[in-house]
Structure 1
Amino acid sequence: MSTQAKREGSPQQPPQLVEMSWDPMTRIVGSLGIYTKIDFKNRRIAEAYSTSHIFRGYSLFMQGKDPRDAHFITSRICGICGDNHATCSVYTQNMAYGVKPPALGEWIINLGEAAEYMFDHNIFQENLVGVDFCEQMVKETNPHVLELANKTAAPHAAEHGYKTIGDIMRSLNPFTGEFYREALHVSRYTREAFCLMEGRHVHPSTLYPGGTGTTATIQIFTDYLVRLMKYVEWMKKVVPMHDDLFDFWYEALPGYEMVGQRRILLGCWGSWQNPDVCDYDYRTMDKWGRAMYVTPGVIVDGELVTTSLVDINLGIRILLGSSYYEDWQNERTFVDRDPLGNPIDKRHPWNQTTIPKPQKRDFSDKYSWTMSPRWYDKRAGDYLALDTGGGPIARLWSTALAGLVNMGGLIEATGHSVKIRLPKSVSKPEVEFEWKIPKWSNAIERNRARTYFQAYSAAAALHFIDKALAELHAGHTKTWSDFTVPKEAIGCGFHEAVRGVLSHHMVIENGKIANYHPYPPTPWNGSVRDIYGTPGPYEDAVQNTPIFEENGPEAFKGIDIMRAVRSFDPCLPCGVHMYLGEGKELQTVLSPTFGINS
């Protein structure tokens, strides 16, 4: 989707500030708008506002539904990462029902989610955000950089086959670039791998609380493995190629580390359950959370503050600020205390009441349908605007610092890095990649982490497939456990959607859903200024970003702004949904010519 900039002079502002907007910004779903005031004299972004134009009321129309339908309904929140929602909803239901799936069922879900990460990160990195670094884009925005790229040898040319950085950029050109076209093919077989495990992409047909309906056979895992090894081979080319490309930008444009840079405030809710530890009991959630194959954590200024899912859960606050909603402070409280006796805040998702209040956009007051999720850091009494960095950078950072993950020699968290080992494949030898904690949380490092997490997902899938086959060989073929829905219960699920943190919170009363709130990465990353005036991550990452584009105001494309925002892998469906209030009554009239019309 093309992005058009709207240029407006602003008589209320000093002459050096020019208002520009990019709306839509994303290349996948177009309800994200970025509105800026640019200081061209000093070549920086003075102000930035993130907007989302459509309200989606999932938290409202989930009320009164059968809890067993929750994962089917919430998977429709998004047509891109719907399986992540289904998985997180199943985790939530498992807790509420007190059910533990068989180990084989968990390995199948893990394999499905690994395939989703491989598929989605691949298509975004190579076919969407990669376009921002392609030859044609660089030619239009930084021709001197392209000239240098054509003269710069690629350090890892032997691994990926492109002699110069310019050759890499040409390979990324949409539809004509070799690498761009290869990536489209890769997206096909990774989606096939997902469907082998969960039946259908992107709304799983075999995923249920208590496990999965997938029929586990040697053949189905073999078919998955064939596709997985193709991906392993592909990643041995992709990682060194992207390292060459991203390292070049630091060399070509000194100071480029400032693009999209913000304070290191990262959140990761963990991914891939370990069935040997996970029982979905809230009271043991700390233990099984730390056993996940991606370690949950909150990172503040480079420090790993917690790896406790209980702490993470208790710290979630939903603030309003500049969003189009009424406060719910005077509404009912659904949950006073968690199962461990900890008090639950009124602004926690378990207690949220969604009260939409549509109004005219005003950047000095209310300007978006996206709320402002924050994490309360009780050490300093701060409400932190955590970001996910598009998902991978937070996942790798948290896992690296925690040092808990060790997957049979395939993945090792060292305390300062993550080592990823990929075995010998058809034409390439065994390799080891090491993602090292970077100096910055910025656009380049978010994109780099995405590539490394693709390799991480492939290595994790190799581990999961070994575990699944071991279950089959031991005669453990059960994939699902029976359960009953209690009259009263609460549940919460924590997972990583492709783009980052995902949580679902549910309250059951009289056997029906009384309250349900899904919080995916979009409202965290795309949130607006909260009641304390703190900007959301997109806004924060764009504000004060320097301008390196060579074009002046009249031909300005905003490529540095786009790279900053797109490094978060923006996708707006999860942030907003459509809601029609009490609904509309269908009227039937009799047409004398054509019979019944409605």
Structure 2
Amino acid sequence: MSKRIVVDPITRIEGHLRIEADVQNGKIQDAFSSGTAIRGIELVVKNRDPRDVWAYAQRICGVCTTVHALASIRSVEDALGIRIPQNANLIRNIMNATIILHDHVVHFYHLHAFDWVDALSVLKADPAATSKLAQSISPWPNSSPGYFKSVQAKIKKVADSGQLGVFANGYWGHPGYKLPPEVNLLAVAHYLEALDWQKEIVKIHTIFGGKNPHPHYLVGGMATPLDINMDNGIHSEKLALIDQLISQAHDFVNQVYLPDLLAIGSFYKDWAKQEIGGGLNNYLCYGDFSTKDIHDTQLYRVPRGIILNGNMNDVLDIDPRDPNQVSELIDHAWYTYDGKASGGRHPWKGETSMNYTGPTPPFQNLNTNEKYSWVKSPRWKGNAMETGPLARIMVGYAKNTGDYRALVDDTLKKLGLPITALHSAVGRTVARGLDAQLAADWLRDDFNSLMANLKSGDQVTFDNSKWEPKTWPKHALGVGTVEAPRGSLGHWIEIKDGKTANYQAVVPTTWNASPRDDAGRIGAYESSLKNVPVADPNQPLEILRVVHSFDPCLACAVHLTDLENKNKTSVRVDG
């Protein structure tokens, strides 16, 4: 007899996600992913000046702000044929690499770590043993027995208070936890350090973009006054601070994040070897981080490509402009197209017409035979796809681009795992760490290139040659893509008579969290949960592990809440 487990909402993510899973004989037989909130920014930007749309579009999300702005700006520039100065491209790359580093570190320590780390077991740890372990895997200076003893004392004080704060409601003591107390203490100590580090790295955004979150961008380049001698511009002192922050980020990723990732991952290799939480094995990557011109995909450090069924010997091309490639279906999503409840469209022909037909809260289960999510179902040539750091790593490895292959092979050798082990929740988490390592290197390279340009006298960050609407075509279509922390992000715009006629954003989580499509094909979350073991249905730690490995971000504008019982969090099991 199967049991229906409902986890609503999934916590430690951005947005509102409900997972329903049918468990039989200790394993998930089927799963359903439901986005329980709607965004609707596409409607807000209609009829607005395309030069202003980025400021609205980045409000899609309070976490992924800068990448939505960048995708929006790129879509307008693509439609109008605008080419930006090299300095602007470098600054945008720096901004994107910064958010990738910030997001990956925060995700690993503050959103995902406690799926693998038993925080309260640190009270049993030997600080001297933790110190010995830390010094054996990294030169990071905070590694003395006294340091770890002080961290342990902090956690004990919290535990003794009876108010666990950020450690409340965890599944502590769950049989799925495998780390020795000493490794748990190492991870918790770095959890606390990462809280301090993450507020420093975003200062790069405040310098180049004016603020964080929601830094400033500009159609045609960047509104960033570069002048090493100007008091009110980006001068030598600010550039020196950025240089220092980049070095700190490089050290934290390489001396804290990656060593911790390997230390923790080594205890969960069974998940990787059995490919638990893998799923589709279909990977989508738009590509990004051009060394010169964003329009020349051959210059992308993150290569563009599609992998189907895990076949890394044949990387297919992807064209986000092609209506026969990318489409969004609504057969199981609460929308209509021209009043019809089913079908699929390319984003340039997309429509955001809400049509909720689900049950009235409070309810027991979603009707998963009908519509059951506010998330549409994007498909590439009819295929459900996974996007994100794992997709980038797989495509980069398959195409043997840059340092991808050497980095992956070296990491897998340390873990004693084959390349196929990446098709798992553990592999997805390892891939995110490698993605951060690459981003840290590119951040340094692009900043050095920017400094070289400045020293040569090039301070240009903006091209106004096509700023005025009178220079624009009467009708234009554009697409802007970004490799965001969580995966391939696309914004599609239609411009008519100088105004935004239509706008559609397909975010990474739209791909990953999508419900069934017209043919019953399941999305990445739903696929990855199949056959995942669940030790205790009342404490579905394994569901959190798999879903969190994607770093969900269900960007939204309207929150749907049960106002009668104020119920915010529940885990329910049906017989």
TM-score category of the 2 structures, normalised to the smaller one: 0.7 to 0.9
Match of 2:3 in 1: 18
The aligned counterpart of 1:501 is 488
One-letter identity of the residue aligned with 1:201: N
Q: Equivalent residues in 2 for 1:281-320 (5 A)?
A: 288-300=296-308, 301-303=310-312, 304-309=314-319, 315-320=325-330
Q: 1:125 aligns with which of 108, 111, 120?
A: 108
Distance 1:525 1:346, change over 3 A: closer
The 8 Å contact of residues 329 and 346 in structure 1, kept in 2 or not, is answered as: no
Pair 1:106–1:480, CA change in 2 (3 A): same
Aligned to 1:516, which of 496, 503, 510? 503
Structure 2 residue aligned with 1:355: 353
**Could you tell me which amino acid in structure 1 is paired with residue 199 of structure 2?**
R
Which of 255, 258, 261 pairs up with 1:242? 261
Q: String of CA shifts for 1:312-332, please: whole Å, max 9, x gaps.
A: 77510111121111234989x
The structure-2 alpha-carbon separation of the partners of 1:17 and 1:330, relative to structure 1 and needing over 3 Å to count, comes to: closer
Contact (CA 8 Å) 2:320, 2:479: kept in 1 or not?
A: no
Label 1:461 to 1:67 Cα distance change in 2 as closer, same or farther (>3 A): same
Call closer, same or farther: CA 1:64–1:460 in 2, change over 3 Å. Answer: same
Using the TM superposition, give the Cα deviation of residue 165 of structure 1 relative to its aligned residue in structure 2, in angstroms.
4.8
How far apart are residue 418 of structure 1 and its match?
7.6
Q: Which runs of 5+ in 1 are unaligned?
A: 1-15, 281-287, 332-344, 377-382, 406-411, 421-431, 581-598
1:93–1:202 CA distance, 2 compared to 1 (3 A) = same
Q: Is the partner of 1:101 in helix, strand or coil?
A: coil
CA deviation vs aligned residue, 1:282-332 (integer Å, no higher than 9, x gap): xxxxxx12311211211112334324546777510111121111234989x
**SS of equivalent to 1:305:** coil
State how 1:273-284 maps to structure 2 within 5 Å: 273-275=290-292, 277-278=293-294, 280=295
Read off the aligned partner of 1:519 and give its amino acid letter.
Answer: V
AA matched with 1:316: V
Which of 81, 88, 92 is equivalent to 1:105? 88
Is 1:364 aligned to 2:369, yes or no? Answer: yes
For residue 370 of structure 1, report the CA deviation from its aligned partner.
0.7
Equivalent residues in 2 for 1:86-485, closer than 5 Å: 86-136=69-119, 157-159=136-138, 165-172=180-187, 177-205=188-216, 207-216=217-226, 217=228, 218-237=236-255, 238-250=257-269, 253=270, 257-275=274-292, 277-278=293-294, 280=295, 288-300=296-308, 301-303=310-312, 304-309=314-319, 315-328=325-338, 347-361=345-359, 362-376=367-381, 383-388=382-387, 391-405=388-402, 412-414=403-405, 417=408, 437-482=419-464, 483=466, 484-485=468-469
Q: What CA distance in whole angstroms lies between the structure 1 residues aligned with 2:261 and 2:101? A: 16
Higher RCO, 1 or 2 (CA under 8 Å, sep at least 6)?
Answer: 2
Instruction: State the match for 1:9 in structure 2.
Output: none
**Which letter does structure 1 place at the counterpart of 2:374?**
W
SS of match in other structure, 1:540: helix
Q: State the partner residue of 1:530.
A: 517
Aligned residue pair count: 495
Indicate conservation of the 8 Å contact 2:272/2:425, yes or no: no
Secondary structure at 1:384 match in 2: coil
Secondary structure of the corresponding residue to residue 513 of structure 1: strand
Q: Summarize the Cα distance change of 1:347–1:203 in structure 2 as closer, same or farther, 3 Å threshold.
A: same
Contact between 1:109 and 1:198, CA under 8 Å: does it hold in 2? no
Q: 1:137 to 1:372 in 2, by over 3 A?
A: farther
Separation (CA, whole Å) in 2 of partners of 1:434 and 1:43: 28
Gaps of 5+ in 2: 146-178, 229-235, 360-366, 561-575
Distance 1:260 1:558 in 2: 14
TM-score normalized with structure 2 length: 0.79
Deviation at 1:522, TM superposition (A): 1.3
Give the Å deviation of 1:349. 0.4
**Letter aligned with residue 235 of structure 1:** V
Residue 577, structure 1, aligned to residue 566, structure 2: no
Percent identity of equivalent pairs? 26
CA distance in 1, matches of 2:50, 2:340: 26
CA 89–521 in structure 1, closer or farther in 2 if over 3 Å, else same: same
Helix, strand or coil for the counterpart of 1:298?
Answer: strand
